[in-house]
Chain A
Amino acid sequence: MKSEPLPHSKKARSEIETTVRKEWGRILASLTKTLGDLQLAEDSLQDAVESALQHWGKNGLPNSPPAWLIQTARRKAIDRLRRVKNFSGKEKEITYLMELDALDAAKDHLETSASDIPDKRLEMIFTCCHPSIEEKSRIALTLRTIGGLTTQEIASAFLDKTEAMAARLTRAKKKIALAGIPYEIPKKEILADRLRSVLDVIYLIYNEGYSSSHRDELIRSELCDEALRLSALIASLMQNQTEAQGLHALILLHDSRRPSRLDDTGNFVSLEKQDRSKWNRENIKAGKVILEKVLTKGAIGPYQLQAAISACHAEAEAWFKTDWGQILALYDLLYALEPSPVIRLNQAYALSNHSSCEEALNWLHPLEGELNTYQPFHVAKADFLKRIGKFEEAKQSLLKAISLSTNHQEKQHLVKTLAQLGTH
């Protein structure tokens, strides 16, 4: 029999989509903690979403959609557990779920709201970002379980095939179950390390969004938005962790420039040439408020320092008013914490503006070996050479940068720069 479209179905569908997207992470985390099994929790929640589409379409929306979803998901989990072959081993779990269900029914779940669902998202994000999971899978898993993105959306963000992304997620969930990765906030002794892993995942999501390494899109807004949301979440859940605050400030400050980063035709605009009146002042203010509060606590880390550097740019009314001396000093602190050639490269750029391009070029020399295949290295070198009139050498560096570029728009920008050099 072909079913007719139901009168409320359109409204119900949009309500479901909004609720699911908004509450997915919270419901899934809570359910996973109860069931001890992420795959089962996700499958059961998916079942509940499908039955919501039917019921809400017919009967209208329940008072509390999230509470309805979690209770239905628990019942779906009981069904799923009963269906598995070795049913006898699952009696304990089933009994526990039925008790929870009875408890909920007694409380009159219609009156409960989303905030009554215990928030286990922090536990969940630590699980998803566990160092024993491959890095790309940590990112995908975090976007799926906490962010509520669909497998298809994640696949498209990484330009993977949906099936490949689905297989990656399944493998990661299997590893969590088989290797016994806990759904817990790590113990004090390892908390700093594990938090770093979580923050790195969020930062990678942001970076992939802000300077997409693929195809024709320079900015993938949905990833930027998600990273902003995740960093806000972790900052609110870990208020005493200065680096969690630092990352949130960094993303707010950095993201404030998103509106000016592309021109009207979608071409890349460098920081120097950006229209600063387009910068998001609200984000800048919010980022600075967090930073000022957190820097006084004396637990400085790389994300706070990067946020402080970003704040220096945000505060400058114009490019020529940038406080390069302050930026250089912040890079020194950053390099002391994390001696990486990429930090030196960025510092050399600040140096070229603070003192001279000759000095900056001298800094690049020792980095050449390690950064030879790093595209931004050659872009910076070309820039310094161009600014001191060494146009032929600048062209060579630009050609190298173009050969290393994987993003179409970025490549176009470099080709344009090269053409301008040709006129000298």
Chain B
Amino acid sequence: MNILSYDFMQRAFAAGIITALLASVMGVFIVLRRMSLVGDSLSHAALAGVAGGMLFGIYPFYGALIFSGVAAVLIEFIRSAFKKYSEVALAVVMSGGMGLAVVLISLGKSFNADLMSYLFGSLVAVSYQDIMIISILGFFIIVSVVLLYRELFSITFDEEFAVVSGIPVKRINFYFTLLTALVVAISVRIVGALLISALMVIPAAVGLQLAKSFKSTFVIAISVALFSVITGLYISFVFDLAPGGTIVLIASAILMIVICLKGVFNRWMQKNF
């Protein structure tokens, strides 16, 4: 049985591969900047966007894009008021987003299968329109990150030094949060709002365990994300499981195995060398 003979599976794989690439690349920067919760905050806002879209008859994916974009602006705005406690901004936007989502859902009485697909991801739900949006935005995001690679490295490693190098740190930080919002909105389709953050953080965490340089961190994170998404989609198709959960479980398993093997390896090295 060739699962790629189904049109909807072709679309799911295309969307999944782009999502894996974007989420893992952004994830490395996000984890190193100790902003692992950003994905969570933005995804709750994206969920409110989905609910709002359903309520007002706008395509929910657009609702997610708009709301997570607005949430990104809000995070930066609140953060500037609480410079020393940047996690306050994340907590406020996360609970605010969830609150708004719940209210909008109850207003629209829209707790249905369609909403469930945005919560936990879906294989059958990816439309041609979704693929078009995901591809165009995905290309734009990857080009942005490649062009800003040096700036992002410098800011992530040592923000003060980045300022003295002449990097427009504030503007790039803001742009980066907007890019993250786009990635979150894109990921809602395939892994679901509740699990996006995991797809950003877990591959990056594996990268940090094994990396021999900054660049190799990306290679590892991308590989882990691609492997998890491809096998996860396959397994969820065969066993009729929610794709988001399956993907995240595979990625988590890889992280656990890597941590254990690394511990064993280090002990073996200490004993023998």
Are A and B a genuine interacting pair, yes or no? no
Interface residues of B (CB under 8 A from A): none
Interface residues of A (CB under 8 A from B): none
